[in-house]
Amino acid sequence: MYRLLLCFRYLRTRYIALASIISVTLGVATLIVVNSVMAGFSAEMHERLHGLASDIVIECHASGGMPDPDAHLDEINRIVGDQIAGSSVSVHVPSMLGIDFNGQLITHHVNLVGIDAETYDNVSHFGRYLLHPDNKESVTFDLREDGYEESREGFPHSGWKYRRDHARMEKAWEAERKRIAELSREAARLASGKPQKDSPEMVESDGPTIGFGGPTLGTVVPEGIREEGAGDSPVYFDAETDQYPGIILGIATCSNKSRDAEGNVRDHYYCRPGDDVRLMFPNASDKPKVVNQKFTVVDLYESGMSEYDSTFAFVRLDQLQDFRGMIDPISGTTSVTTIQLKLIEGADLNAVRDALRQRFPPDTYAYSIQTWRDMQGPLLAAVRLETTILNILLFLIIAVAGFGILATFFMIVVEKTRDIGTLKALGASGSGVMSIFLSYGLLLGIVGSGVGLIGGIAFVHNINDIASVIEKITGQEVFDPTVYYFTEIPTILNPFTLAWVMAGAIAIATTASVLPAIRAARMHPVAALRFE
């Protein structure tokens, strides 16, 4: 009984020990904050990476892809059919995106993906990252009337409405340009008395040409490029009523985030749903030629993973197959470059991958068969390593705090020498005296890490407010949305992590009190009583 009473009294009267426990408190709080932010961050990343990548991806590296995807799917179903929840085939091709922006050509390397909109959503998250609410439900590659995310700050007016207005304006400009050219020719003829070519300066002085500048692109297009589609012939194509094949662009391929003078992040869009863009990509023949094709942007894709948003552009699978010549004109069999599989809940990704690898051995087939983890392995491993190292470092800090407790406890034991002698004179056993100090250490550990726990949890709950306060004070962006794409810091409080952080801190505090407690227990009662 006296042990408890005394150790509670010591806790109440020895503030120096409480000071020594503050480092434990801080260590625990920091550990909790770091772990929950890291967990939140990696969960978010996992979620997104997994959602984007589908469970297993079979890629064919041949430029013509793998013929007859249905036969492949049948074969796959034969091998691991019981594990498969969904599948989709697609064509991936590297390509160059050209956007006309105020008369300048903006080019971007993109990974052009031909998808089957119906099945693609089964194997990976796709629709949910589109801007138009109807496209989130079911994807079409037809331009919608309006209703894109216009509430978003800086997002321009888009859709058919915009396209019509834009086309009308374009036509008016064209007419105006023609008229001015006519007038200037007329003026020149009148001045010199003979016919003259129209002056380019006169055209430029009208300000930047709005709309798609075909000729600008023409200069960079090498010889031998096939022009496909009704593209550049205004006779057959009216932008006011017609659209090119639809394309969904990754949002970062056609916009950039920047900071204005006040430090607010703003998006600037080079093109929007309703604009036309040009894509160049190789066809599937053995002697590849560049296909040059116009598309109409029908939606934008924003997953939050900058790697995806800045490299992907999606079109319809059948159209892309057609453009690239991946449909056998005689038999009608198609080819694809990629098969994506979604597995049932709880399936062993690696086992399925290995089974498939066995069926399609890499020495025979130019296929790479990977799980989403394999593909994102380095990134996931980096986050894991970072978390581990931070945990080790922070636990070292708590261990340092442990040495502080050790020193403080030795001091307290020396200070309490006479009391230890008194207790022994009153019949307290060595182990009894020892347990006073052990339970004192335990109690301090519980108090210190308990306060740290509460503080850490409070911090995590208000982390975004705290971040904004820090931003205000220091003027430094803590969590830069231009880098991370999360507007908020994601956090996850894992009870298991909390428990082991607490247990670790308490164990360190108790361990630190073992040596002083042993010293107290071993103290000779007479020496202790004589101690001045």
Partner 1 sequence: MHSSPELLLEARGIRKSYHKDKIELPILRGIDVGFVTGEMSALVGRSGSGKSTLMHLLATLDQPDSGEVWFDGARIDNQSRARRDHYRNSQIGIIFQFYHLLPELSAIENVLAPAMIRRSVLGYLRDRKSLRLRAEAMLDRVGLLTRSHHQPSEMSGGEMQRVAIARSLMSDPKLLLADEPTGNLDTETGATILSLLRELNREDELTIVMITHDDSIAETADRCYRMCDGLLEDNASDAAKNSRSNSAKLETVAA
Let me know if 49 is exposed, middle or buried by CB neighbors in 10 A (0-12, 13-18, 19+).
Answer: buried
* Tokens standing for residue 65: 């892809």
**Distance of alpha carbon 318 from alpha carbon 210, whole angstroms:** 32
417-425 vs 430-461: helix crossing angle, rounded to 10 = 130
Which CB atom, from 251 or from 420, has the smaller least distance to partner 1? 420
Buried b / exposed e along 427-441 (16+ C-beta atoms within 10 A): ebeeeebbbbbbbbb
424: contact with partner 1 by CB under 8 A: yes
Q: Which stretch binds partner 1 (CB under 8 A): 2-10, 86-94, 155-163, 286-294?
A: 2-10
Q: How far is the CB of 436 from partner 1 (least distance, A)?
A: 11
* Residues contacting partner 1: total by CB under 8 A: 25
Q: Per CB under 8 A, which of residues 271..300 are in contact with partner 1? A: none
129 Cβ neighbours under 8 A, 6+ residues apart: 301, 302, 303, 304
Q: Closest CB to partner 1 among 422 and 464?
A: 422
Q: Which of 39, 60, 313, 428 binds partner 1 (CB under 8 A)?
A: 428
Nearest distance from residue 435's CB to partner 1, in Å?
Answer: 12
214/98 Cα distance (integer angstroms): 10
Among 202, 253, 427, 491, binds partner 1 (CB under 8 A): 427
**215 binding partner 1? (CB under 8 A):** no
* Binding window for partner 1 (CB under 8 A); candidates: 1-9, 93-101, 225-233, 353-361: 1-9
Nearer to partner 1, 418 or 461 (CB): 418
CB contact at 8 A, 494 and 39: yes
Q: What is the distance between the alpha carbons of residues 42 and 29, in angstroms, rounded to a whole number? A: 20
In angstroms, the Cα distances linking 9 to 5, 6, 47, 262, 437 are 6, 5, 50, 56, 12
Going from the C-alpha of 532 to that of each of 21, 57, 426, the distances in angstroms are 28, 78, 19
Nearer to partner 1, 280 or 412 (CB): 412
Q: Which residue of 423, 444, 502, 508 would you call a contact of partner 1, by CB under 8 A?
A: 423
Given the rule CB under 8 A, which of 227-235, 327-335, 416-424, 513-521 is the region that contacts partner 1? Answer: 416-424
Residue 226 makes contact with partner 1 by CB under 8 A? no
In the set 67, 430, 450, 455, which binds partner 1 (CB under 8 A)? Answer: 430
CB of 525 to partner 1, least distance (A): 5
Of 429, 461, 469, 483, the residue at the interface with partner 1 (CB under 8 A) is: 429
Given a contact cutoff of 8 angstroms between Cβ atoms, the answer to whether 486 and 8 are in contact is no
Question: What is the smallest separation between the CB atom of 524 and partner 1, expressed in angstroms?
Answer: 8
Q: Which window, 32-40, 87-95, 427-435, 449-457, contacts partner 1 (CB under 8 A)?
A: 427-435
Query: 240 near 168, Cβ under 8 Å?
Result: yes
Closest CA to 226 of 314, 317, 324: 324
| Interacting span for partner 1 (CB under 8 A) from 9-17, 81-89, 222-230, 271-279 | 9-17
Backbone dihedral angles phi then psi of residue 58, each to the nearest 5 degrees:
-110, 115
10-29 residues in contact with partner 1 (CB under 8 A) are 10, 13
Q: Which of 289, 418, 461, 522 binds partner 1 (CB under 8 A)?
A: 418
Residue placing its CB nearer to partner 1 in the complex, 9 or 266: 9
What is the rounded CA–CA span in Å between residue 99 and residue 253?
Answer: 10
Helix boundaries (H) for 193-298:
200-204, 214-218
Q: Which stretch binds partner 1 (CB under 8 A): 5-13, 87-95, 282-290, 437-445?
A: 5-13
180 binds partner 1 (CB under 8 A): no
Task: Report, in Å, the least distance between residue 530 CB and partner 1.
Answer: 8
Measured CA distances, 71 to 142, 336, 416 (Å) = 30, 12, 84
1 binds partner 1 (CB under 8 A): yes
Whole-angstrom distance, CA of residue 146 vs CA of residue 155: 13
| Helical ranges in 14-89 per DSSP H | 15-53, 69-80
* 169, 203, 425, 469: residue in contact with partner 1 (rule CB under 8 A): 425
Among residues 422, 468, 482, 497, the one that binds partner 1 under rule CB under 8 A: 422
Token pair 């019981």 is found at 82
- Cβ distance to partner 1 smaller for residue 457 or 529: 529
184 vs 189: CA distance, rounded Å: 8
Q: How far is the CB of 24 from partner 1 (least distance, A)?
A: 23
Taking the least distance from each CB to partner 1, the nearer of 3 and 316 is 3
**Binders of partner 1 among 491-530, rule CB under 8 A?**
524-526, 529
111: which strand partners?
94, 312
Name the helix (H) or strand (E) containing 513: helix 495-522
Residues 435, 253: Cα–Cα separation, whole Å = 67
Least Å distance, CB 519 to partner 1, is 18
Cα distance between residue 398 and residue 506, in whole Å: 10
Q: What is the dihedral of CA 478, 482, 484, 487, to 10 degrees?
A: 70
Position among 190, 235, 426, 473 found at the interface with partner 1 (CB under 8 A): 426
Closest approach of Cβ 6 to partner 1, in Å? 7
Binding of residue 175 to partner 1 (CB under 8 A): no
Establish if 419 lies at the interface with partner 1 (CB under 8 A). yes
Q: Which residues bind partner 1 (CB under 8 A)?
A: 1-2, 4-6, 9-10, 13, 418-419, 421-430, 432, 524-526, 529
